[in-house]
Each structure stands twice: as structure tokens, then as C-alpha cells.
């Protein structure tokens, strides 16, 4: 069982946030152009206020019921994205609370978005760029059909590359997502986590999803 993250300190999180911004700048990008999303799957409700005090504005949750509970507990404190595996029956549940659903990857999810989404609903399509068996995400070749069929606005793409021994090993997958987004005129690329976000930023990420880089004392 994964242990929840407790004992967060606003000063440490703020310092880590600044380190991430500096790393984005060192990668040749304007930090203002890369959104830093704090992944809060393992951050309990009573620790979220610490993140707000540290300057975190954008957060992402993997589980629909937890997103709803956390957003309701802290109304207006954060902008929320849904970043986990999206079950179609959960679409209606999360829509009132999120800016983006970043992980649309099924026909059934599109169906539910058509039923419950509105003119202002925006999503990212999750793409399995490496073609890993059993992993969430559509094949790159399926993207044109998804874009044509989507009943709501698609603003970008998201991916999780395969587990790799070094961050550099993820570069080809981030580059492939960037090229795919460019072909279809999509502006957002949600890619890169604590272990490889620097490479993702170099390859064009506009959203990075971070956990330990923000929460661990002295992280970089």
C-alpha cells in the first residue's frame, strides 16, 4: 500500500517549485509557457492548503471520486485537471470540477462527453506512442478518427512513455507526441513527470505533471 504524503511544508514546496521553473528556463523554454501541474493522488485533503500557500495553482488527480472530494473540500483554491485512467461512467462525475480531462482514450468516453459535455468542455487525448500492450492510450494512427468524432474541443495530447532507465530514453516518445500534435494543430502537450520532465520540456511540453520534484525536501 502506498503511503500518503504528509508533513508538507509550504517553504520547501515553494523552493522546489522555483527549482523546477529554473530547470525549465535552463532547457531553453520560457517558464511562463510551461504549466506545472502538481499530481495529488497521494496528497490527502488536509495537506492541499499547504500547496496553495506554496504557490501551486494547477493540480491533477487520478481518481474521479478523490478529485470530487478534494475539489469540494477546497472550492476555488485550485484549477483541476483529471489525469488518470478515465472510465466512461466517471465522465459526468468529474466534468463540473475540471478544466481539462487529460486522459480521454476510448470511444465510450467520447460518447459520455457527447451526453454530458458542453460547448466549453475541453480535453486532451491520451496517446500510447510506444504501442505498449495493456497500457492506456490510443494508437497514433487512431488520432484522426478521434479528432473527427470528438463532440467536445480537443486542445492537446497526453502520453506516459514506457518505464526507462534514464530520462533521455523517453525523448523519442516525447518527440513523437510533439510531431503528432503539430500535424493536427493541437497546442497542448501534457508529458513529463518528476523523473523526465526536463527532457519533455526540451521536446515541447506545455504541461508537466510532477509529484516528488515538488514534495520531496531538496528535490530538483
Choose among 103, 119, 189: nearest CA to 152. 119
> Considering its fold, how many domains does the chain have in total?
1
In three-state secondary structure terms, 27 is coil
Is 204 a residue whose pLDDT tops 70? yes
- pLDDT, tens digit, 9 for 90 and up, residues 113-138: 999 999 999 999 999 999 999 889 99
Q: Tell me, yes or no, if the pTM score tops 0.85.
A: yes
DSSP-assigned states of every residue in 122-181: EEEEEB-TT--TT-SSB-GGGHHHHHHH-SSEEEEEE--PPP-SSGGGGHHHHHHHHHHH
Q: Is residue 5 part of a domain?
A: no
What share of the chain has pLDDT > 70, as a percent?
98
Residue 2 has pLDDT above 90, yes or no: no
pLDDT tens digits, 81-123? 999 999 999 999 999 999 999 999 999 999 999 999 999 999 9
Q: What is the CATH number of the domain that holds 29?
A: 3.20.20.10
On whether residue 158 sits in a domain, the answer given is yes
Burial class (CB in 10 A: 0-12, 13-18, 19+), 46: exposed
**Would you say 157 and 124 are in contact if contact means Cβ atoms under 8 Å apart?**
yes
Are the CB atoms for 212 and 15 separated by under 8 Å?
no
| Structural domain boundaries enclosing 110 | 10-215
In a domain, 67, yes or no: yes
On whether residue 220 sits in a domain, the answer given is no
pLDDT tier, 1 (very low <50, low <70, confident <90, very high otherwise): low
- Nearest-angstrom CA–CA distance, 59 and 154: 20
User: What whole-number distance in Å separates Cα of residue 18 and Cα of residue 66?
Assistant: 27
Q: What is the pLDDT of residue 51?
A: 98
Amino acid at each position: 500500500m502506498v503511503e500518503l504524503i504528509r508533513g508538507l511544508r509550504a517553504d520547501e514546496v515553494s523552493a522546489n517549485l522555483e527549482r523546477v521553473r529554473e530547470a525549465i528556463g535552463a532547457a531553453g523554454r520560457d517558464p511562463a509557457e510551461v504549466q506545472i501541474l502538481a499530481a495529488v493522488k497521494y496528497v490527502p485533503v488536509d495537506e492541499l492548503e499547504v500547496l496553495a500557500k506554496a504557490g501551486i495553482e494547477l493540480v491533477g488527480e487520478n481518481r474521479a471520486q478523490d478529485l470530487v472530494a478534494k475539489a469540494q473540500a477546497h472550492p476555488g483554491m485550485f484549477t483541476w485537471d483529471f489525469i488518470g485512467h478515465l472510465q466512461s461512467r466517471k465522465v459526468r462525475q468529474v466534468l463540473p470540477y475540471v478544466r481539462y480531462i487529460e486522459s480521454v482514450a476510448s470511444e465510450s468516453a467520447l460518447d459520455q462527453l457527447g451526453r454530458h459535455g458542453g460547448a466549453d468542455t475541453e480535453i486532451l487525448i491520451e496517446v500510447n506512442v510506444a504501442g505498449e500492450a495493456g497500457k492506456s492510450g490510443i494508437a497514433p494512427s487512431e488520432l484522426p478518427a478521434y479528432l473527427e468524432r470528438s463532440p467536445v474541443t480537443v486542445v492537446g495530447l497526453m502520453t506516459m512513455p514506457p518505464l526507462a532507465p534514464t530520462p533521455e530514453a523517453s525523448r523519442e516518445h516525447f518527440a513523437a507526441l510533439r510531431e503528432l500534435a503539430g500535424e493536427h494543430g493541437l497546442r497542448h502537450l501534457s508529458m513529463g513527470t518528476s523523473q523526465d520532465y526536463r527532457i519533455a520540456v526540451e521536446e515541447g511540453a506545455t504541461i508537466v505533471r510532477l509529484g516528488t520534484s515538488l514534495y520531496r525536501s531538496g528535490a530538483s
